[in-house]
Structure 1
Amino acid sequence: METYHGYVESVLDALILFEACDLGVLPRVSGRLSEDDRAHIRSGSVYIWDEEEACIQRWTDGRRWSSSRPCGNFIVYDELAANHASGRARASDKSGNAKSRVSSPQASSNQGGKTAPTTPTASTGFGQRRKPILENGLIKRALSMNTANGRRLHLVSYYALNDTDQRLLNIPRNDERLANVRIPDAKYP
């Protein structure tokens, strides 16, 4: 079950959601997502959990994601095309040289138009590997925070660029349903 539906644009938005969960205004995730819950992840899905309460340290959603990259206080991932092979899986050409399954932007564009331009990743001795980003795929944005009383809170949100560009998703700090949520001064250091 989603904690919230909208776009977490800033740390302030995340704090509002964390506090709304503490006040019982919004539900926290209580355990790992079921297969049905995973199937219902959509642009605007936001999930919040307390690490100890939910016994979840690492979030799993059944989707393939790019390597993480920092974006302010958040960590961001791009959804990868489903047919992308693991970085460990290799195909061999006729000369026996190992090469990645998708080695160029041209190769990714020949997969039925389902992937956007590829993005390079770290080299591991085989040259640069490229991972095809899912065209119109979701972006996953994550934030973890310790409270003053030692709790570890996590937030994972999903959104489509088109939805944020067109402002189709609520932003917590502008959401009337959360207007009465006040963030205590020393709770989130």
Structure 2
Amino acid sequence: SFHGYVKTRVDALQLLYAAHQGIIPRITRRLDNTERHSMIKSGAVFIFCGEESGIKRWTDGLLWSSSRIDGDFRVYREISQRAGSRGGYKKAYSGQAASNSPRLTSENVRSSNAQSGNYQGIFKPKGLMKK
């Protein structure tokens, strides 16, 4: 949909308005595996309407930490594996496109609240963050 950095609530609202007006495209269906590998990278912003797309909850094949509040946003950190209910570990998809994508680092999150807590997983080195 858009590539950039959403820093404030106003940024987010402007993007929603632009998508509503047709200035920037909305996601109208779930991404397939090829699209996931090529499109999900640092700076990618995906906007969708639940009624239009049928998407009730965004899924992208990556593993994410529990959410933490950072101002007006919920922030999630990418994890490389998560402890399963039976003590095993679940791993996210791996692929050349995913491993070569530019990544945000933990230094990019200013809120100490977003950096603390029990994430029930292992942070992925140079992993993505999502708001």
- State whether TM-score is above 0.5: yes
CA deviation profile, 1:34-90 (whole Å, cap 9, x unmatched) = 111110211000000111111111000000010111112211110001xx2434131
Which of 86, 90, 103 aligns to 2:87? It is: 90
- TM-score under structure 2 length normalisation: 0.72
Partner of 2:26: 28
Structure (1 or 2) with the greater helix fraction = 2
Larger Rg: 1
- TM-score under structure 1 length normalisation: 0.51
Higher normalized contact order (CA 8 Å, seq sep 6+, divided by chain length): 1
1:131 is displaced (CA, Å) by 1.9
Conserved? CA contact 1:120–1:131, under 8 Å:
no
Distance 1:89 1:64 in 2: 17
Please report the RMSD computed on the Cα atoms of aligned residues, expressed in angstroms.
2.1
Distance 1:9 1:120 in 2: 22
Q: Which segments of structure 1 move beyond 6 Å, counting only runs of 4 or more?
A: none
Distance 1:120 1:54 in 2: 33
- The alignment partner of 1:61 has SS state of coil
Give the percent of matched residue pairs that are identical in Structure 1 and Structure 2: 40
Structure 1, unmatched stretches of 5+, are 92-99, 101-115, 123-129, 142-189
1:29 is displaced (CA, Å) by 0.5
